[in-house]
Amino acid sequence: MSGFAHDIVSGTTTLSEIVRVKNSIAASNFYGCFAYATQSGFRAFDLGVGSNFWSETPSRWLFGIDYGRTDPRALKAIAEAENTEVRIFDGMAVVKRPGFKPRRDFHPKVALLENVASGSHGLVLGSGNFSYNGLRRSVEAGAAIVATDAIEYGQLIEPVSSVFSGLWDDACPLIDIADEYEARHRELTTAKDMRQTANSKVPVTGFWIEAGYVTKNRGPDKPGNQIFAPNGFRRFFGFKKNKGNSTLIGQITFETETGPNVTKNYRENDNAMEKLTLPMPEDHGFGVYDGKVLVFEPKGKGFLLSAIELDDFELAFRHRLANVGVMSQGRRFGELV
């Protein structure tokens, strides 16, 4: 049994501890229980455990949807992975309650692992949720436990695993509420957007777009750095409609809080959308772009780029949103005032 804290120098994170315990016992089963899930958490986990995890390791996932913090797109991505089963704590009740207010808060961050053949078990628990920040970036701490026999398991892990086994049995299969949760989640978000109107006397200070699912354009073991934007998004960057046959719209210089300035191409795409190439996320403190909100603020001859988790964006920028639009895939974009 060992404690751990996220440490930049050593590279220790909640995710690295999950991977370490998984490898140390050659886990044949995985059970993750987290208060909420984001797309960035799914991408971070997917890259951390490796592409073979899903085909080789049956996994169960128990999430909460309290207050609508869990992104329905993250639940869908996990449920579509191989060998997975997803359930929601008190899902049938919470999905119908105003604002998804829970009857009892679901707030764990627990990973239970098992090697059926050897009888070994692992437990990783701490403060980090199933988001990129919680798994890798934020200041978090926890403990990792490995039990190699029945006595150790009974003393160190069974008191936790027995509780979460019971919670699993009582939980709601995601499929039973997935459509309703996604629809009500969208309605709740749309209602907030509609209440936010632009003030024509207030200058626009920036703009934003939800990244959504980001294709692994750099290979299966690296986070993607290209997103699709709606046709006409170029106007935010000061570009006009192209003339001629070139697909190059222009070049954009990005400034980030970590790493040097980077200039990338902005192109038209063959699906009537626009393709924006971004700085390498791992080199600029973002880790992954999946599920985050990209904020662009003019600075000099370029743009200051931030990549923010959806909940954090809502808290920090909700009062500044204006002219919110929605793409066909449900991703939002708009201005900041």
| Residues 169-219 pLDDT 10s | 999 999 999 999 999 998 887 766 665 554 445 688 999 999 999 999 999
Count CB atoms within 10 A of the CB of residue 300.
9
Q: Distance between CA atoms of 120 and 115, rounded to whole angstroms? A: 5
pLDDT at 220 over 80: yes
CB 104 within 8 A of CB 112: no
**Residue 321 burial (10 A CB sphere; 0-12, 13-18, 19+):** buried
Mean pLDDT value across residues 294-309:
96
Overall CATH class of domain 2-191:
alpha beta
CATH 3.30.870.10 in the chain: give the residue spans: 2-191
Q: Which fold has domain 198-336?
A: At1g16640 B3 domain (2.40.330)
Short-list 207, 173, 229, 221, CA closest to 61: 173
Say what the pLDDT of residue 51 is. 84
CB 334 within 8 A of CB 321: yes
pLDDT in tens, 82-127: 999 999 999 999 999 999 999 999 999 999 999 999 999 999 999 9
CATH 2.40.330.30 in the chain: give the residue spans: 198-336
